[in-house]
Structure 1
Amino acid sequence: MAWRPELQSLRIELRPRALKINNCMDYVEALHQELSNVNAQDDRAFLQLERKFGRMRRLHMQRRSFTIQNIPGFWVTAFRNHPQLSLRISSQDEDMMRYMINLEVEELKHPTAGCKFKFIFQSNPYFRNEGLVKEYERRSSAPVAYIHRNQEGNTISSFFNWSSDHSLLEFGRIAEIVKGELWALQRNSGCTTTACGKSQILQVPV
């Protein structure tokens, strides 16, 4: 069967076009390789900067934490003045928090792990733990070892039950507040827009 002139012409035109497509694919592949190299360099540079500034940040946070530990009533005041958390804090919770000297928040490396909260206390008459630990999203935590229980032998009703009770529907919201606002409170020298207002400094009793 003889090719019609128009079909033969179309066949001839397709050959150089195919070569152009192959050239484009080769070029795209080369660009992809170059981009991969750039990304690798970027990752290395980022890790170097992260380590450098991470060390600097940890040093400043350690100094700030040490300073806060010497301010009587800092954390009980921060929790009590928060418009949402204060609703969950009883007078007994306030007494417990007077022994709280530090709050630590540690970002966990695994992307789905979330973060770890650690509430640090002085020796106190309420529980034996030196620190209460809560890992958010993994839903694992250290139980609160109360020294005293109520008359029925049950755990005392307290704000700190949040650190070990995952049945609370709002536990995720509490975690977000503690990390994003109270932890930021420490980083921002005792002031947040939610708890203190834009220009109001946290007032700590002397």
Structure 2
Amino acid sequence: MWNLKKKIKKESVFSFFLTFILLWVSFSGFPHSMAPKRQSSLPPQTKKPRLPPAPKPEKTSTSLDLPKGEKEQQEAIEHIDEVQNEIDRLNEQASEEILKVEQKYNKLRQPFFQKRSELIAKIPNFWVTTFVNHPQVSALLGEEDEEALHYLTRVEVTEFEDIKSGYRIDFYFDENPYFENKVLSKEFHLNESGDPSSKSTEIKWKSGKDLTKRSSQTQNKASRKRQHEEPESFFTWFTDHSDAGADELGEVIKDDIWPNPLQYYLVPDMDDEEGEGEEDDDDDEEEEGLEDIDEEGDEDEGEEDEDDDEGEEGEEDEGEDD
């Protein structure tokens, strides 16, 4: 029994020392070269080379090379351009809104245009008088054009629903000796590419009544004789499609005459006014001429009086000598 206890005691002491040694080894550790290496299941990683930092972008503005004053001007110009872009954007927005308003009121005006046309039809020669009294249109009218326009009974301007896309001008005529058409029209619109273009009614001239050919013959004769030169016929406008974007006559009729034709109908005849002015000038010239004659007569009388006085003085001197 004693031996068994002694044996157990020895084994306990041995276990204690063994545990102490193991703990000491675990805390102190083996030398790094003696420690077993741990194998990793992951492939060995290669260290990526470090790239140099990217250079900062250099300013390409030429203002860096300019003197201070010019640099400030250049920067100001760039800022002005930015502000102008904003102004243009607002202008474009305003144009779109104005277009919507114009479309609205264009529809509201139609009944009044119709009523006005009915009233104008009661006045003979209203439209030819209006055209003759308009300074720009009258310059395009020859004598035969005026005769043909005496048969013009109605003019209508129709703007398309999308006003930007164009408009049409219609001329209504009574039976006349010049052409067969009852209506002559010219239309202005944007083609597929967005460029302005125009098309018009083909005029069916009666035999020997084509005013467009007659005007060219008249011009040739005038150029040879250097006499009165007739303007190109008003009716050539219906066949001229060379520059629809700069058609002045169409713009004048649409924007100036059509909104208020009465103001030109009521204008006094310009030729009469010019004639009266010329007569007034002639009267003034005659009066000035009479005044000049009177003044010259007075001067002559004064000179005669002076001569008489000198003669009398000479006779008195001779008497004294005697």
TM-score between both structures, scaled by the size of structure 2 = 0.40
Alignment of 1:184 with 2:246, yes or no, is no
Matches of 2:110 and 2:245, distance apart in 1: 30
The C-alpha deviation readout for 1:124-157, integer Å capped at 9, x for no partner, is 1111111111012431111111113369xx7443
Change (3 A) 1:82 1:168: farther
* Matched residue type, 2:160: L
* 8 Å Cα contact 2:117-2:154 kept in structure 1: yes
Change (3 A) 1:124 1:184: same
The C-alpha deviation readout for 1:55-75, integer Å capped at 9, x for no partner, is x42222111101101101111
Q: Classify the secondary structure of the residue corresponding to 1:145.
A: coil
Change (3 A) 1:113 1:156: farther
* Matched residue type, 2:116: R
- Among 174, 177, 202, the residue aligned to 2:249: 174
Residue matched to 1:164:
239
- Among 99, 120, 139, the residue aligned to 2:172: 120
Q: Classify the secondary structure of the residue corresponding to 1:118.
A: strand
Residue matched to 2:91:
none
Alignment of 1:50 with 2:125, yes or no, is no
**Gaps in structure 1 of 5+ consecutive residues:** 1-42
Give aligned-pair identity as a percent: 32
Alignment of 1:80 with 2:132, yes or no, is yes
Residue matched to 1:141:
200
Change (3 A) 1:61 1:184: same
* Matched residue type, 2:235: F
* Matched residue type, 1:173: E
Q: Write the mapping of 1:65-104 to structure 2, written as runs, cut at 5 A.
A: 65-104=117-156
- Greater RCO structure (CA 8 Å; 6+ sep): 1
* 8 Å Cα contact 1:69-1:101 kept in structure 2: yes
Change (3 A) 1:92 1:104: same
Q: Classify the secondary structure of the residue corresponding to 2:259.
A: helix
Change (3 A) 1:150 1:97: closer
How many angstroms does 1:111 deviate by? 5.2
| Greater per-residue helix proportion | 2
Residue matched to 2:86:
none
Change (3 A) 1:111 1:67: closer
* 8 Å Cα contact 1:134-1:164 kept in structure 2: no
* 8 Å Cα contact 2:184-2:201 kept in structure 1: yes
Alignment of 1:59 with 2:111, yes or no, is yes
* 8 Å Cα contact 1:149-1:155 kept in structure 2: no
Q: Classify the secondary structure of the residue corresponding to 2:247.
A: helix
* Matched residue type, 1:119: F
CA RMSD of aligned residues (A): 3.2
* 8 Å Cα contact 1:69-1:102 kept in structure 2: yes
* 8 Å Cα contact 1:118-1:133 kept in structure 2: yes
Matches of 1:111 and 1:71, distance apart in 2: 31
TM-score between both structures, scaled by the size of structure 1 = 0.60
Matches of 2:267 and 2:112, distance apart in 1: 20
Matches of 1:77 and 1:116, distance apart in 2: 22
